[in-house]
Amino acid sequence: MRYAERPLLIYWELTRACDLACRHCRAEAIPQRDPRELSTEEGFALLERLTAFGDPRPHLVLTGGDPLKRPDLFDLIAEARRLGFLVALTPSGTYALTEAAIDRLKAAGIWMLALSLDGSTAARHDALRGVPGSFAQTVRAARWAAAAGLPFQINTLVCAETLEDLPAIVERVRELGARRWSLFFLIPTGRGRLLREISPEESERLMHWLIDLAPQVPFEIKTTEAHHYRRVLVQRANGHLPPAARRGFGVRDGNGIMFISHIGEIYPSGFLPIPLGNVRREDPVAIYREHPLFVALRDPDALKGKCGRCPFRAICGGSRARAYAVTGDPLESDPLCPYLPA
């Protein structure tokens, strides 16, 4: 599926300010807010402009850094909701994420909260997050969200350091009552360049484990920047997939996804940091629909190497972000996928 007219998801990085020091941070977050951030008024104008994508509205994910570092966060949420956007939020696991803050987010109409849990224990999680106490605060926040009736997903980094801990993390996700478990496969960008990806063979084994796990757990399982999960699903099902399993097929960097940085730069995704314009000067709707790179990213026949020959390229398409990080060309093959098309 090609999302030529509108993205499914728009990620807006409200700020790069964050009190954590995560070893894999895409944004290379900083303690204080950048004075070049979009202002409240510019944020309102951006939201108004994004309505030109039409209906159904793209889902809006407010991310960072830590969105709670923006004093106008709730004003921006209110305006987005007034304009008809479903709004999700990805706060950091810090002491700013209080029970009162979660109750306020629920009252503001947040559709989904995304909390990061990168280890099954405090020692494992906090070692990646760089601040003691982050694990405990994230667990408390998940319980407060469950009590408030605010749906949440758990995001987990997949890299060499976390791979063996994933079965134990599953039990944490189950215990906390998450709606979805989203596994973020490491892209060597930002601070993540210092961590090690899993191997293609390990990724393939992990895909099969996730497919076997899915019917045993009460939450959805989603992979980010590991689109070949869809290829394995189809191969395992001999093409007979239930409709729910097909959700998200074809979505990848630039195809169904657009990212807007804290200073207004427009990217195909947060993990594919190629600036293609700036909302202060250009129309984000026109950039998404017409920029040559966005157009190419939506065309599975524009892909190169084995991704371009792959019979699953339309439903998968590979991680364009990983291709760019490793080869410098976002249309090249995704090196994490071991599949060799005939």
Residue among 182, 174, 171 nearest 222 (CA): 182
Q: What is the mean pLDDT of residues 137-150?
A: 97
pLDDT bin (cut points 50, 70, 90) of residue 30 is confident
CATH number of the domain bearing residue 108? 3.20.20.70
Q: To the nearest 10°, the Cα dihedral for 62, 267, 194, 34? A: -60
**Does residue 339 belong to any structural domain of this protein?**
no
DSSP 194: G
Q: What percent of the chain has pLDDT over 70?
A: 97
Domain count along the chain: 1
Q: What is the rounded CA–CA span in Å between residue 315 and residue 1? A: 7
Q: What are phi and psi of 173, to 5 degrees?
A: -60, -40
Q: Is residue 342 part of a domain?
A: no
Quick one: which H or E segment has residue 74?
helix 73-82
Q: Is 335 among the domain residues?
A: no
**Within a domain: 251:** yes
Helix (H, G, I), strand (E, B) or coil at 30: strand
Q: What is the pLDDT of residues 113-130, one digit of tens each?
A: 999 999 999 999 999 888
Residue 319 belongs to what domain range? 9-327
**Is residue 3 situated within a structural domain?**
no
Structural domain contains residue 333: no
- Asked if residue 263 is part of any domain, the answer here is yes
Which residue, among 20, 338, 24, 318, has the nearest Cα to 162 in the 3D structure?
Answer: 24
Q: Does residue 56 have a cis bond before it (omega within 30 degrees)?
A: yes
pLDDT in tens, 279-315: 999 999 999 999 999 999 999 999 999 999 999 999 9
Residue range 48-60: mean pLDDT, rounded? 97
Cβ distance 30 to 16 under 8 Å? yes
Q: Does 337 map to a domain?
A: no
